[in-house]
Amino acid sequence: MLWTWFEEDHILEHRLGRPRLHTDSDGYFVHNDLWHLLIERLSLDYDKLLRDAPDLHATHTVLIEFSRGSEHGGYRAAYPHLSDAVLKQAAIFFIDVPYEESLRKNRRRFNPDRPDSILEHGLPDAKLERLYRKVDWHELAAADPETITVRGTAVPYAVFPNHDDVTTSLGPVFEARLEATLDTLWARWQQQR
């Protein structure tokens, strides 16, 4: 969705001679609340999915993935834009990785021939630093070691520590850590039901 906005703005400006809608010519949002619009859109898509498959959760798990830096409000500002339906079922799986590791992975992953790819996209170093260097997760999670309260709903969470980068070369350490983190998250989610 985000990359589509960049593409649309490029088409508007360079092919149709019209003003950009979402971003400036450097690729930054023209309004910070557009970050919240992305969350609202994810929630809308989830709500429509649930409308069309009311028994969805009996057989499926829905993953909603996003990251938020403090520069544009952080997680504290993002989570309240999740719909009630999302919050009712939500559990947060937070991957804790230092900024330096994010920067290294961003550089390594980027394929300039596929900038729209989910697995090969990347940001210039300066943009990554501005948007994602500062993160409010630890401050937000400090209030409770098991849940984050969003609009009155206690949402369970678990943290997957990845300071030692076990996600690049998957193996037994990654598998054990993933299983332990998911077991913790599942137990906390069940307690909230």
Q: Which two tokens stand for residue 66?
A: 């996003």
Burial environment of residue 153 by CB neighbours within 10 A (0 to 12, 13 to 18, 19 or more): middle
Helices then strands (H, E): number in the chain? 9, 3
The mean pLDDT of 140-167, rounded to a whole number, is 94
Radius of gyration of the chain (CA): 18
User: Which of the residue ranges 131-135, 137-141, 154-158 would you say has the lowest mean pLDDT?
Assistant: 131-135
Which residue in 20, 59, 19, 41 sits closest to 6, CA to CA? 20
What's the mean pLDDT when you consider all of the chain? 91
Are the C-beta atoms of 68 and 80 separated by less than 8 Å?
no
pLDDT digits (tens, 9 = 90+) for 68-121: 888 888 999 999 999 999 999 999 999 999 989 888 887 888 888 888 777 778
Whether pLDDT at 189 is above 90: yes
Give residue-wise pLDDT tens across range 49-58.
999 998 988 8
- When pLDDT is cut at 50, 70 and 90, the band that residue 155 belongs to is very high
Contact 182, 93 (CB under 8 A): yes
What whole-number distance in Å separates Cα of residue 97 and Cα of residue 163?
A: 5
- pLDDT score at 72: 84
Q: Is the pLDDT assigned to residue 39 strictly greater than 90?
A: yes
Q: What is the pLDDT of residue 140?
A: 94
